[in-house]
Structure 1
Amino acid sequence: MELRWLEDFLALARTRHFSRAAEMQHVSQPTFSRRIKLLEEAMDATLINRQTLPLSLTPAGEQFRAMCERMTRDLRDTRDRIAEIEEAAVRRISVGSTQGLFSHFFSQWADRTGLRDRLAINLESTNWIGEDFLDALDNGDVDLVLCYWHEHLPWRQRLDPQRYTWLSLEQERITPFTIVQEDGTPRFTLPGTADQPVPAISYHSRGFLSSAILEQISRSTEQAHLFPLNENTHSASIKALVKQGFGMGWLPYRMGAKSQQFGQLARAGGEQWDVFVQIRLIRLRQPRSEDTITLWNELENQHDE
């Protein structure tokens, strides 16, 4: 049974005339009559009394008409609701976010600012690295970028204030973590020695955190002896390897402090090894949507309060 057959039947029930109903449905009368016949065959019942002038509905037809009216009403309401949902989705502002910030910061921040229903994460962005986020802004793939920022990014000059503007939302502490041993002591501890370097799970060199960590290590009064095991793009990947005991790694403090799977995490060194970066929200100075500017102004007002 096809939906248009139900619409045909309602048109015939209203007009009680095959020719006028066919005209309403924008089909020829033979085609219309054939569709009504197919409908009756599908229902295994006679719905139209063709012996009366004007046409009338049989008792089965009256029952069927009530069902058709409910279905078409529900369909119309559903279509309207879907249209509203689609319109709202179009109005939602697209956000590109690093995987780490998406997993442990975005939801709480969006709820706190009351913006969750107006923002949509571009899930592809959780696989982007470094400058990919600014490329996405330039290309119109996202309206906003949620990322880390610090003065040691090798491509920091790209954030031209004539082209971009930003808000610093919070400061993030990046802390070296390691799994603990059975006696409760850290399995790996900075700074290590030349004979026994500390195995380290590193960040991708094109990412946001690698250069900040290297700069902190270079400024330490103690020389760090590290044995890089591998390079990862995401904090979650580093955390998983750290928790399985392969080595130590720098993680956002809130991300490392709350995990219990595989074993408890502990600091792999004192606070002198902590790295501090900004969590920034970035947009084009001339955004493509007025909704972006409206939302941005609301955020600025919240920060000023």
Structure 2
Amino acid sequence: MQAQQLAYFLAVAETRHFTRAAELSRVAQPSLSKQIRNLEDELGATLFSRARGNITLTPAGEVLLPLAQRILADMRTARREVQELTGMRRGLLRLGATPSLCGGLLADTLALFHRRFPGIELHVEEGGSRDLVRTMARGELDLALIILPLHSSDPALETRPLLRESLVVASSRDRPSPTSYASMRITDLAETPLVMFRRGYDLREATLQACRRAGFEPRLAVEGGEMDAVLRFVEAGLGLAIVPSMVLRNRPGLRGTPLARPRLSRTIAIAHRKDVEPTHTARMFWHTLTDHLGQLDDTELGADLEVIEVATHPRADT
């Protein structure tokens, strides 16, 4: 079994077309087809069903797909790791983070890291926590800032809690306040339209579970948005939304009302795959992040953000 054969297999699995896969792989279609047949002979199983021109994965192909993705991702990681030993003069860091973290904590940390290691190429993937966990399982991220706890069906990840953040009820300042008190109860939202995140966001699940534990099913004015869309919908007066407190900074059109009964919060953690050691570049970013957190004072953190721990990054030789 050769890495090139696995790459051709993934190209066909993605395009469901041998000719398009060959074009993407920059190889003649007969050569690609031959390598796929050689791979099938090696494995003793047919990987694609070719009935009537429709290319679909067989059960054996479905089993191989995530394994091939991880094998090729690990090979790229090995190549990067060796290159990075040249002194961090070049390399790649693939980092995932939720939208609320990208605009604040992550941006500041990346700026510090880039000033220290300007030759490192930075790739950031923004998405919901569950989406990032799945992307990391495929070997497409080195590190991710995700929300705990992980679900039982999630892949094996090594996680370290970093921050605990309060969730608040966001409302438009152009509309009357949703309460005359300093805080709200979750039951106060029972008759209020809510703006809901798309599936894959931990905030969606946190909101739905909190409402259901309080004994009601929330009324949804609109659902399916990313963070920026949800905040804009709230500003327009479509409804309220439960969001992290940090996303309301620099949003003068929104107010945040704390939840008192029960108080809702989330734990932000840094994660990597258990079966793959973080690259040298990833360890150096982890080191930069935890050092940055350790230097933040209460004014910079705000009342709704608490550092859990800052001394648990993997050892990084500087």
State the TM bucket, normalised to the shorter chain. 0.5 to 0.7
Measure the CA separation in 2 of the matches of 1:295 and 1:192: 42
Provide closer, same or farther for how the CA distance between residues 180 and 187 of structure 1 changes in structure 2, counting only shifts above 3 A.
farther
Equivalent residue in structure 2 for 1:228, among 220, 224, 242 = 220
Equivalent residue in structure 2 for 1:271, among 257, 260, 273 = 260
Paired residues, number: 201
Q: Which residue of 2 aligns with 1:39?
A: none
Instruction: Please state if 1:304 is matched with 2:300.
Output: no
User: Is contact 1:98–1:147 with CA below 8 Å preserved after alignment?
Assistant: yes
Measure the CA separation in 1 of the matches of 2:192 and 2:164: 27
Measure the CA separation in 2 of the matches of 1:270 and 1:290: 41
Equivalent residue in structure 2 for 1:219, among 206, 209, 213 = 213
Cα displacement (A) at 1:229: 1.6
Paired residues for 1:272-287 under 5 Å:
272=261, 274-285=263-274, 286-287=276-277
Q: Which runs of 5+ in 1 are unaligned?
A: 1-86
Aligned Cα RMSD in Å?
A: 3.5
Bigger radius of gyration, 1 or 2? 1
Cα displacement (A) at 1:218: 3.1
Provide closer, same or farther for how the CA distance between residues 116 and 148 of structure 1 changes in structure 2, counting only shifts above 3 A.
farther
User: Is contact 1:147–1:280 with CA below 8 Å preserved after alignment?
Assistant: yes
Partner SS, residue 261 of structure 2: helix
Cα displacement (A) at 1:245: 0.8
Q: Which residue of 2 aligns with 1:115?
A: 113
Provide closer, same or farther for how the CA distance between residues 138 and 116 of structure 1 changes in structure 2, counting only shifts above 3 A.
same
Q: Which amino acid aligns with 2:169?
A: P
User: Is contact 1:170–1:279 with CA below 8 Å preserved after alignment?
Assistant: yes
Deviation per CA, 1:190-229: give whole Å up to 9, x if none.
63587xx211001223322222222222334xx5563202
Instruction: Please state if 1:103 is matched with 2:92.
Output: no
Cα displacement (A) at 1:135: 3.1
Partner SS, residue 247 of structure 1: coil
| TM-score, scaled to structure 2 | 0.52
Measure the CA separation in 2 of the matches of 1:133 and 1:252: 18
Cα displacement (A) at 1:158: 1.6
Q: Which amino acid aligns with 1:98?
A: T
Equivalent residue in structure 2 for 1:202, among 188, 196, 199 = 196
Q: Which runs of 5+ in 2 are unaligned?
A: 1-86, 295-309, 313-318
Provide closer, same or farther for how the CA distance between residues 89 and 159 of structure 1 changes in structure 2, counting only shifts above 3 A.
farther
